[in-house]
Amino acid sequence: MGAPDGERLGPYHLLSTLGAGGFGEVHLALDPEGRTVAVKILHPHVAADRTALARLAREVETMRRVQGPYVAEVLDASLEGARPYLVTRYVQGRPLSAVVAGDGPVGGDDLVRLARGLAEALAAVHAAGVVHRDLKPANVILTDGEPVVIDFGIACALDSASVTVSGAVLGTPGYLAPEVLEGAGSGAEADMFSLGATLAYAATGRHPYGTGPPSAVGYRVVHHAPDLEGVPGWLEPLLQECLRRDPAARPSAAELLDRLGAAGPAVHAAFPRARPAAAVGGRRAVRDQEATHLQDAVRDQEATHLQDAVPREAGAAGSSVQELTTRQWRPGRRPPPGRLSAEEARERRRTVLHRRWIVGTGLLVSLAAATAREPLPEVSLLLLTSYGLVMLVDGGIALFGRRDRARMVVDLAGAAGAIALWAVLGTFFSTLTLALALGTVVFVLVAILMAS
């Protein structure tokens, strides 16, 4: 297969296997900076097709230009060695297929966020000149309530006879556009068909073209209308346009995004914001109130054709992951309301540590200077002067280098406070008392450092 857990592949440390699909095996890994990433190691039969790899290498440069909060960015690739691999942003969450199978159809505001997120993701992918080719519920990860599209461009780049014969199914019946099933080229219009099918599945809990053998599902896609019963009224006409047989009649991702924005008032009128869960019996009760006609729509899903590798929740990644401290990298993603981003949390931590350092060093310097005030006045003056200069320099750097006025104020307040405390201690306490206090403080500090 790909590689055992714990092995290094290039600069990446493989932690655990996340899954396997038609093209490769996906591992949770750490990059050289300690960030979690997803490493997809291509299967041997895929790696043996040099033509497909050459095409993928060309596509990777284009795929790396796709940026946005709703796509799992391609970060790196190595396609020349014995084990070619792709590296993407690791998305911690659950596949849409698992969410619908376990929790039922997506409704209300969640469905609105899903539709807008997928439309924005495809708009970013298409703007870079990339075609996803394999958009489906298993390739949509829900994290913090927002969708993230994974594996864009891979199926299209590896579309070759040898790869297909070797067993990789390029796309999923029921989510592939009719023109793709008939052997025509796949463009952005094919992705819009897949988007419509994916949203129909999310809204109803049913595959829009049913289940069964791939050939039977493909026949329905080409010759039958999709099953949209139970789709909310504001969404149904948009899905009908996305699922049109004529590619030219489908809207673009940008057009769909605009129409979803224009549909906002109607959406909220149909699905008013839910009251607190305690008042209505929880989130599932809210969904039942919004879509009582969908209560019987959830049924067992035969998802054997949805086996492409997708990241699972961190808790299911294995004990080796749980024992490590990792940081998930989400460029472009804003944190949910009330939650700090990683950079904001680090900045707040630095501010707290700086203030503690100012207070601690100020107390120590003022105590030492007060102790030396009578027997060694020159030393006392030197300690206060040195501390004051350090505070002035740090405050100047904060003001002119970092534009951080708050830090400058803290530095100046620390210097002034140290001088004031020196004066008070020297006035009201004897040299012996101050010396004993200084010795105690130094002993405690040394003990803390040694224990650390």
Collapsing DSSP to helix, strand or coil, 211 comes out as: coil
Angstrom distance (rounded) from CA 57 to CA 284: 45
Confirm or deny that 136 is annotated as ligand binding.
Answer: no
Contacts of 264 (CB under 8 A, 6+ apart): 112
For 95, list phi and psi in degrees, rounded to 5.
Answer: -60, 145
Residue 339 to residues 274, 335, 342, Cα–Cα distance (Å) = 21, 6, 9
Q: Which sequence positions are flagged as catalytic?
A: 134
Which element (helix H / strand E) includes 328? strand 327-328
Q: Which residue from 7, 16, 2, 14 is spatially nearest to 320, judged by alpha carbons?
A: 16
Mapped onto helix, strand or coil, the DSSP state of residue 6 is: coil
Q: Which residues pair with 42 in a beta bridge?
A: 24
Which DSSP category does 425 fall into?
H
The CA distance from 107 to 308, in Å, is 25
Residue 234: φ, ψ to 5°: -75, -20
Token pair of 285 as six digits = 């009760």
DSSP string, 94-153: EEHHHHHHHH----HHHHHHHHHHHHHHHHHHHHTT---S---GGGEEEETTEEEE-STT
3-state secondary structure at position 173? coil
Taking the mean position of all CA atoms in its chain, how far away is CA 6?
Answer: 23
Binding residue numbers: 40
Binding residue numbers for ATP: 40
